[in-house]
Amino acid sequence: MTEQPTSSRLSRRGLLGGGVAVAGVAGAFAAGRGSAHAGEDDAAATASAGRPGTYAFRGAHQAGITTPAQDRLHFAAFDVVTDDRDALVALLEQWTLAAEQMTAGEPAGTGAVGGDVRLPPDDTGEALDLPASGLTITFGFGPSLFRDADGKDRFGLADRQPAALRELPHFPGDVLDPARSGGDLCIQACADDPQVAVHAVRNLARIGFGTVSVRWSQLGFGRTSTTSTSQSTPRNLFGFKDGTANVKAEEAAALEEHVWVGVDDDAGAGWLAGGSYLVARRVNMTIEVWDRQPLGDQEAFIGRTKGTGAPLSGGEEMTEPDFEMPGSNDQPVIPVDAHVRVVHPGQHGGARMLRRGYNFVDGSNALGGLDAGLFFLAYVRDPATHFVPVQLAMSTSDALVEYLKFTGSALFAVPPGAGPGEHVGQALFT
Ligand SMILES: C=CC1=C(C)c2cc3[nH]c(cc4nc(cc5[nH]c(cc1n2)c(C)c5CCC(=O)O)C(CCC(=O)O)=C4C)c(C)c3C=C
Ligand SMILES: [Fe+2]
């Protein structure tokens, strides 16, 4: 079922004076505190404008997976810089509290202003006048948290490492930058305001000072997927609709089958039941070269039309592709190396993934081209069956890869949602 946001009227500024606890959020809304966004003064206006307010942090699954994909992303991977298990647990407790506050539209800790002037404030302050903007914060654990590069079990977690949580293999054509890959922990912050997403990661990194350090991070500015049937399909930087055939929040059976880890999936990693695996791939797109390709060729590379996103076999955007339909020269109308054919579940034992990626432009490269692409994020029940074979097929036989460079890669186990009074990932440590 799709998560329903509450109103976006709550702003950090509005909550400042009251020190309102998370449980008091509904009360604060009823009291009519102000929002910095003019024209968003009631829940109906908010909903119709498609700008959600707050999503509950706690629940059976972490928010930020089936949540309708927000427009902005700040993703960060962290290295744990201590061997002290208690310090790690304490950090997860602090992160949970701060995430719960920030996703509710409150500042972190005791706030940004009004405290002891002799001390640095708990919250950095740049989101004070902004509403929650649909912020979700999703936490994950990388393979190196369980066994570091030397095989050392720093936190006594090695025997709880899920069998499927292993470094992804090297794929043909990967040109990975180690400084943009891996990580002991990750945080995916998504919001409809970039400043809110950046504020969340910045404050969590600040809280983690001395326990974790940021290994790498990635900003995303335009979602490249839909995770709910209520959303329109956005476009990637090749100009094509992206996210059409995604697993959506309304597909309960597909989520159970393809996204959530089941209770019997891994006897040694029961703590992950109800969670998922997050695959992150930074994919550079050589858009200057792409832009010189004829429209017909671009459509053949993807296997869909650029305008409506319909399969080349006909119909509308949501029509199932007909991979058997003949085209000219005895070739099928959807070419054998078209992206949608190569990655289609029909080629991979029916495996589907919940994609949640974002466009990025990180300035220019040494040749004057844009350092641009798609930060691919996908949630799957098992990377070995639902991601690796698909990426392998793509790397070896997809026409699109001529225009792509895989420059970053990471895999994380994403624990289920935190229950009342719990910290995120608590079952792993008990
Ligand atoms: C290994 C998994 C995938 C990577 C990496 C990937 C990169 C990538 N994709 C596009 C553009 C499109 N992808 C589309 C569909 C699609 N892509 C994947 C997997 C990977 N893509 C899947 C599983 C699917 C769905 C296939 C299906 O079920 O039919 C589409 C079509 C529209 C849609 O269904 O979303 C486009 C367009 C780019 C540009 C890219 C890397 C930069
Ligand atoms: Fe794709």
Which protein residue has the closest C-alpha to ligand 1 atom 31?
242
Please give the distance, rounded to the nearest whole angstrom, from the Cα atom of residue 6 to the centre of ligand 1. Answer: 31
Per-residue pLDDT at 420: 97
Per-residue pLDDT at 35: 29
Per-residue pLDDT at 11: 59
Residue 13 binned pLDDT confidence (cut-offs 50, 70, 90): very low
Per-residue pLDDT at 3: 67
Which protein residue has the closest C-alpha to ligand 1 atom 32?
242
Q: Is the dihedral of CA 318, 323, 326, 330 positive or negative?
A: positive
Q: Look over the chain and give the mean of its residue pLDDT values, rounded to a whole number.
A: 90
In ligand 1, the atom with minimum distance to the C-alpha of 376 is 5
Per-residue pLDDT at 329: 85
Which protein residue has the closest C-alpha to ligand 1 atom 11?
242
Per-residue pLDDT at 14: 45
Please give the distance, rounded to the nearest whole angstrom, from the Cα atom of residue 339 to the centre of ligand 2. Answer: 7
Tokens of 222: 């335009």
Beta strand 222-223 pairing with 358-364: antiparallel
Per-residue pLDDT at 121: 97
Q: What is the pTM of this model?
A: 0.91
Cβ atoms of 112 and 147 within 8 Å: the answer is: no
What's the ipTM? 0.99
In ligand 1, the atom with minimum distance to the C-alpha of 225 is 35
pLDDT digits 0-9 by tens, 63-82: 999 999 999 999 999 999 99
Please give the distance, rounded to the nearest whole angstrom, from the Cα atom of residue 181 to the centre of ligand 1. Answer: 21
Q: Is the pLDDT of residue 1 over 70?
A: no
Cβ atoms of 388 and 264 within 8 Å: the answer is: no
Per-residue pLDDT at 71: 97
Please give the distance, rounded to the nearest whole angstrom, from the Cα atom of residue 345 to the centre of ligand 1. Answer: 11
Of the ligands numbered here, which is closest to the C-alpha atom of 239?
1
CB contact set of 302 (below 8 Å; sequence gap of 6+) = 238, 240, 338, 339, 340, 400
Q: Is the pLDDT of residue 160 over 50?
A: yes
pLDDT digits 0-9 by tens, 179-218: 999 999 999 999 999 999 999 999 999 999 999 999 999 9
- Protein residues with CB under 6 Å of any ligand 1 atom: 236, 238, 240-246, 281, 283, 285, 302, 304, 339-340, 343-345, 353, 373-374, 376, 390-391, 394, 404
Tokens of 53: 């307010």
Of the ligands numbered here, which is closest to the C-alpha atom of 400?
1
> What is the total residue count of the chain?
430
Of the ligands numbered here, which is closest to the C-alpha atom of 301?
1
Of the ligands numbered here, which is closest to the C-alpha atom of 281?
1
Please state the rounded mean pLDDT for residues 389-398. 98
Q: What is the DSSP letter of 179?
A: G
Which protein residue has the closest C-alpha to ligand 1 atom 25?
245
Which protein residue has the closest C-alpha to ligand 1 atom 2?
391
